């Protein structure tokens, strides 16, 4: 039995140890070198401009000042803030209502049909945001396609006010934001083993209970990711509200643009930017806590 | 059908004899009649009828695509058949949705809820049945003890090993005291040792609870070890329903003979009651079931014996040449060529005092007349 195994060499433990260790160090060094460009890029393109933004907001021609921030207490800004959050909440809510069933259907289809549906969801991504927004303008305006149809069918007498207001902005933004919700949600739904639903049903859960108690909790990570994306993007949205809002829907991002383009006040614009950034981070942290709490409630 | 077990060898003391009558009030008989399910031109279930007794451990055995899982899914309510009838006790259940059937089920991949702990998984069916909190806690603990997972209730599903998940799935399927338990290849994901251990435990649980159990597997050894009776299914039809021993010793169709155990077949000619094998008459223990002229003689490695001289009286015989011995540890398999080209295998116990015949030696093969099985090729479902 034993003659096949070599006798234990007392020096064996030290053999090659140094060479192996330096090999491991060399590997780490190479990995670090490979990721260096990315660190540099992030550093110069994200951290430096953000630092500069912050600097501009607190350092005017007379030196250090908080004037740019105290000005934000003006009621006009408060109103903008409320509008921005209202719109972001509404758009996120509507995206959930539309996107959840859509993602579910897509996740249940055969691979071929599912890719067709996802293609339709993704298609708007490949056209310019501006083109899509103008397309909504054509559809929604007073003499636009929708109003003409409704009037021709005799459903309404006078054209509906669908655009240049809150309604139009909401419609346009939901359309643009929907893919951001559907993609992560669809991905998380695809990973759910459908046998879990069968098991729930077999154990006595009605379809409604199985949905609320098994399916929904399992989609929460994907839903959370989608909600965060949509909400954060909506908070800083500019193009669509500017065009479809017709000047009546004042978003935070539009205030920033106005400060720069109309008043040339970089300090005020920077302060607005910093406030938006801080608010967004705060919301992210809060949502992270909330979904983390959801996910943590039942294990992983 | 069952005559084989009574006249050959010592009385079989397998698990089949142990099914407890005491627990039968907890279980229901299942009656399936004329079940048909087609997917396009493919008939997954082709007029399937089977009666499963109360408290019985019935295994559905067949190759993949045979329809065994479809049949189980119809019982569970996840597949809607085209026509037929299924009754639990005297209640027709085919039109009931799955969540109203009140049957336990163990899924192939366990289907444990990953966002719940072990205890929460077990409590779920009880919560749905509005069982009180205190009683839930007691029953969860009892169920965990039953599957030997006591104290692991707080664990997450991800923290469990394959065997532990299997036990949780089993516990969840029986905790609400269903009167029928369905199992869909529950052990197929486990490694061999664990699988054998779990086979034993599933069997023990069945005896303890006396619950009518329908078990799907493609593993014939698992089926033979665990079942009271086995239904062999192929091409959407039930080939034979019998006890493990009867199924092995007296297969009724060519498919069953080939699917269960290691089988070699030789062509024989049948005329009335006389059978000839390579020109030599052979005897059969019982009248032939089929009258076809060309049939097959079914031989298994362990029923064959090798003789250097004449085989014992009371045996059918066949001459051949030793080709090769293969040592398998507990047994030695000898490959023997008969009639020049056909090959048979003979298995015997490994004994160190036995010498092996040199390859090329002429030998006689013998087997007991009562072990002679003759079946027509093709499907014997007549």
CATH number for the domain harbouring residue B277? 2.40.50.140
In angstroms, rounded to a whole number, what is the distance separating the alpha carbons of residues B139 and B176?
9
Number of domains in chain B: 2
The strand pair at B315-327 and B331-338 is best described as: antiparallel
Q: Are residues B174 and B212 in the same domain?
A: yes
**Residue A62 — very low, low, confident or very high, per pLDDT cuts 50/70/90?**
confident
B99 and B71 housed in the same domain: yes
pLDDT in tens, A232-268: 899 988 888 888 887 788 888 888 888 888 888 888 8
* C-alpha distance from A5 to closest chain B C-alpha (Å): 24
Residue B138 placed within a domain: yes
d(Cα B64, Cα B67) in Å, to the nearest integer? 8
Show which of B249, B284, B312 is a domain's final residue.
Answer: B249
Closest Cα partner for A106 from A182, A206, A165? A182
What confidence score (pLDDT) does residue B146 get?
A: 85
A215/A199 Cα distance (integer angstroms): 12
**Is A300 in Cβ contact with B111 (below 8 Å)?**
no
At residue A129, the pLDDT reads: 85
Domain boundary among B186, B218, B249: B249
Model confidence pLDDT, tens digit, residues A10-44:
565 678 888 899 999 999 999 999 999 999 999 89
SS3 B31: strand
* pLDDT at position A140: 87
CATH classification at residue B228: 3.40.50.300
Please check whether residues B72 and B185 belong to one and the same domain: yes
Residues B193 and B115 in one domain: yes
Q: Note the pLDDT of residue A299.
A: 38
User: Smallest Cα–Cα separation from A204: which of B111, B133, B129, B92?
Assistant: B129
- Distance in angstroms (rounded) separating the CA atoms of residues B255 and B376: 10
β-bridge pairing A59-60 and B274-277: unpaired
Question: Do B209 and B280 fall into the same domain?
Answer: no
| Residue B310 sits in the same domain as residue B194 | no
Question: Which uninterrupted H or E stretch holds A136?
Answer: helix A129-140
Q: Indicate whether B64 belongs to any domain.
A: yes
Task: Inspect the interface and report whether the beta carbons of A209 and B128 lie closer than 8 Å.
Answer: yes
- Least Cα distance to B249 among B278, B224, B282 occurs for B224
Closest CB to A199: pick one of B102, B103, B111.
B111
Q: Which stretches of chain B are assigned E, i.e. beta strand?
A: 30-39, 42-52, 57-61, 83-88, 91-92, 104-106, 180-184, 212-217, 229-234, 237-242, 264-271, 274-277, 280-282, 294-299, 305-307, 315-327, 331-338, 342-349, 362-368, 373-375
As a residue count, chain A comes to: 300
Do both B177 and B57 map to the same domain?
A: yes
DSSP SS3 for B156: strand
In a domain, B85, yes or no: yes
Choose the final residue of a domain: B203, B226, B249: B249
A119, burial (CB in 10 Å: exposed 0-12, middle 13-18, buried 19+): exposed
Strands B331-338 and B229-234 turn out to be unpaired
Other CB atoms within 10 Å distance of the CB of residue A28: 9
Q: Which residues of B touch A299 (CB under 8 A)?
A: 114-117, 156-158
- Report d(CA A144, CA A163) in Å as an integer: 10
Residue B256 in domain:
no
3-state secondary structure A9-74: CCCHHHCCHHHHHHHHHHHHHHHHHHHHHHHHHHHHHHHHHHHHHHHHHHEECCEECCHHHHHHHC
Asked if B361 and B322 touch (Cβ cutoff 8 Å), the reply is yes
Pairwise CB contact (< 8 Å): B128 & A193: no
CB contact under 8 A, A218 and B158: no
Q: Which pLDDT score is estimated for B295?
A: 82
**Are residues A198 and B111, on separate chains, in Cβ contact within 8 Å?**
yes
Q: State residue B16's pLDDT score.
A: 39
Determine whether the interchain pair B115/A198 forms a contact, defined as Cβ–Cβ distance below 8 Å: no
Q: Does A209 touch chain B (CB under 8 A)?
A: yes
pLDDT in tens, A150-200: 888 888 888 888 888 888 889 999 999 999 999 999 999 999 998 999 999
Question: Half-sphere exposure (CA, 13 Å, Cβ side) for B1?
Answer: 13
How do the pLDDT tens digits run along chain B, 382 residues long? 344 333 333 333 334 333 333 444 568 899 999 999 999 889 899 999 999 999 999 999 999 888 899 999 999 999 999 999 999 988 899 999 999 999 999 998 899 999 999 999 999 999 999 999 999 999 999 999 888 888 888 999 999 988 899 889 999 999 998 989 999 988 887 888 888 888 888 898 898 888 999 999 988 889 998 999 999 999 999 999 999 998 988 888 889 888 888 888 888 878 777 777 887 778 787 777 777 777 888 888 888 888 887 777 888 888 888 888 888 888 888 888 888 788 888 888 877 777 777 888 888 888 888 888 888 876 444 3
Q: Residue A217 and residue B109: Cβ atoms within 8 Å? A: no
Higher per-residue confidence, A294 vs A43: A43
Answer whether A192 touches B (CB < 8 Å).
Answer: no
Does residue B175 belong to any structural domain of this protein? yes
Question: Backbone dihedral region of A291: left (phi > 0), alpha (psi from -120 to 50 degrees) or beta?
Answer: alpha
- pLDDT category at A6 given cuts 50, 70, 90 is low
Nearest to A300 among B109, B114, B124 (CB): B114
Q: Tell me, yes or no, whether B84 lies in a domain.
A: yes
**What are the backbone dihedrals phi and psi of residue B38, each rounded to the nearest 5 degrees, phi first?**
-115, 145
**Using CA atoms, how far apart are residues A102 and A182, in angstroms rounded to an integer?**
8
pLDDT at residue B381, rounded to an integer: 41
| Residue B36 structural domain | 3-249
Six-digit token pair at B224?
A: 């033979």
Same domain, yes or no: B52 and B131: yes
Residue with tokens 């540890």: B329
pLDDT band at A144 (very low <50, low <70, confident <90, very high): confident
- Residues B65 and B235: their CA atoms lie apart, in Å, by 7
Q: Which region holds residue B174: left if phi is over 0, alpha if psi is between -120 and 50, else beta?
A: alpha
Residues 6+ apart with CB under 8 A from A157: A151
Whether residue B213 is found in the same domain as residue B66: yes
| Whether the predicted model's global pTM rises above the 0.90 cut | no
Residue A297 pLDDT exceeds 50 = no
- List the beta bridge partners of residue B276: B269, B281
**pLDDT reported for residue A294:** 54
How far is the alpha carbon of A198 from chain B, nearest alpha carbon, in Å? 7
Residues of A with Cβ-Cβ distance to B112 under 8 angstroms: 199
Distance between CA atoms of B285 and A8, rounded to whole angstroms? 65
Same-domain status, B98 and B221: yes
The Cα B128–Cα B77 span in angstroms is 18
pLDDT at residue number B13? 37
- Strands B229-234 and B57-61: what pairing? parallel
Which residue in B97, B100, B114 has the most chain A C-beta atoms within 10 A of its own C-beta, making it the best mutation to test that interface? B114
- Is B381 contained in some domain? no
d(CA B272, CA B220): 34
CA–CA min distance B318, chain A (Å): 44
B162-174 and B118-128 helices cross at what angle (nearest 10)?
A: 20
Is A201 within 8 Å of chain B by CB? Answer: yes
B17 and B76 belong to one structural domain: yes
Task: Give the whole-angstrom CA distance, residue B165 versus residue B157.
Answer: 7
- Within a domain: residue B293? yes
Nearest CB partner across the interface for B76, out of A202, A210, A299: A202
Query: Between helices A129-140 and A145-152, what is the axis angle to 10°?
Result: 30
**B312 DSSP 8-state letter:** P
Place of tokens 């004329």: B34
**B273 and B228, same domain (yes or no):** no
């Amino acid at each position: 039995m034993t003659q096949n195994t070599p006798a234990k060499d007392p020096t064996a433990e030290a053999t090659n140890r140094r060479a192996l260790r330096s090999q491991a160090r060399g590997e780490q060094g190479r990995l670090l070198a490979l990721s260096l460009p990315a660190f540099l890029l992030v550093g110069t393109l994200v951290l430096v401009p953000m630092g500069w933004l912050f600097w501009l907001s607190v350092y005017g021609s007379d030196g250090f000042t908080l004037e740019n921030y105290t000005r934000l207490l003006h009621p006009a800004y408060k109103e903008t803030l409320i509008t921005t959050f209202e719109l972001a909440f509404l758009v996120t809510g509507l995206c959930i209502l539309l996107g959840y069933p859509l993602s579910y259907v897509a996740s249940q289809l055969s691979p071929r049909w599912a890719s067709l549906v996802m293609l339709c969801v993704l298609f708007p991504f490949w056209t310019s945001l501006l083109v899509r927004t103008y397309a909504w303008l054509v559809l929604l305006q007073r003499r636009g396609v929708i109003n003409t149809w409704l009037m021709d069918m005799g459903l309404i007498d006078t054209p509906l006010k669908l655009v240049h207001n809150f309604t139009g902005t909401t419609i346009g933004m939901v359309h643009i934001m929907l893919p951001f919700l559907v993609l992560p949600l669809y991905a998380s739904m695809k990973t759910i083993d459908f046998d879990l639903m069968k098991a729930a049903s077999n154990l006595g859960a009605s379809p409604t209970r199985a949905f609320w108690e098994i399916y929904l909790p399992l989609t929460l990570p994907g839903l959370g990711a989608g909600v965060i994306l949509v909400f954060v993007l909506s908070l800083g949205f500019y193009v669509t509200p500017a065009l479809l809002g017709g000047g009546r829907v004042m978003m935070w991002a539009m205030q920033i643009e106005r400060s720069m383009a109309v008043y040339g006040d970089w300090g005020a614009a920077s302060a607005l930017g910093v406030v938006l950034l801080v608010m967004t981070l705060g919301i992210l942290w809060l949502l992270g806590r909330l979904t983390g709490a959801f996910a943590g409630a039942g294990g992983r | 059908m069952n005559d084989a077990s009574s006249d050959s060898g010592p009385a079989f003391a397998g698990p089949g004899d142990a099914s407890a009558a005491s627990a039968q009030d907890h279980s229901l008989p299942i009656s399936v009649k004329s079940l048909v399910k087609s997917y396009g031109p493919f008939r997954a279930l082709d007029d399937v009828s089977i009666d499963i007794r109360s408290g019985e451990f019935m295994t559905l055995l067949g190759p993949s695509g045979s329809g065994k899982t479809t049949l189980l899914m119809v019982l569970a309510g996840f597949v809607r058949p085209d026509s037929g009838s299924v009754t639990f006790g005297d209640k027709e259940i085919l039109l009931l949705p799955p969540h109203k059937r009140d049957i336990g089920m163990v899924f192939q991949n366990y289907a444990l809820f990953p966002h719940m702990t072990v205890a929460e998984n077990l409590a779920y069916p009880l919560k749905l049945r509005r069982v009180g909190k205190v009683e839930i806690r007691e029953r969860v603990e009892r169920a965990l003890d039953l599957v030997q997972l006591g104290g692991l209730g707080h664990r997450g599903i991800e923290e469990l090993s394959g065997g532990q998940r299997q036990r949780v799935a089993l516990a969840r399927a029986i905790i609400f005291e269903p009167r029928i338990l369905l199992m869909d290849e529950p052990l197929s994901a486990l490694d061999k040792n664990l699988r054998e251990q779990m086979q034993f435990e599933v069997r023990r649980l069945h005896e303890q609870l006396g619950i009518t159990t329908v078990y799907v597997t493609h593993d014939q050894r698992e089926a033979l070890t665990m079942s009271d009776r086995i239904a062999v299914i192929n091409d959407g039809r039930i080939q034979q329903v019998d006890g493990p021993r009867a199924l092995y010793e007296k297969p009724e169709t060519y498919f069953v003979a080939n699917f269960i155990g290691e089988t070699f077949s030789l062509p024989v000619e049948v005329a009335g009651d006389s059978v000839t094998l390579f020109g030599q008459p052979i005897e059969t223990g019982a009248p032939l079931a089929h009258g076809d002229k060309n049939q097959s003689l079914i031989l298994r490695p362990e029923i064959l014996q090798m003789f250097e001289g004449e085989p014992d009286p009371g045996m059918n015989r066949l001459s051949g040449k030793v080709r090769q011995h293969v040592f398998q540890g507990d047994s030695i398999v000898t490959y023997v060529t008969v009639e020049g080209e056909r090959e048979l295998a003979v298995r015997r116990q490994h004994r160190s005092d036995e010498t092996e015949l040199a390859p090329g030696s002429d030998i006689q093969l013998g087997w007991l007349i009562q072990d002679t099985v003759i079946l027509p090729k093709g499907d014997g479902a007549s």
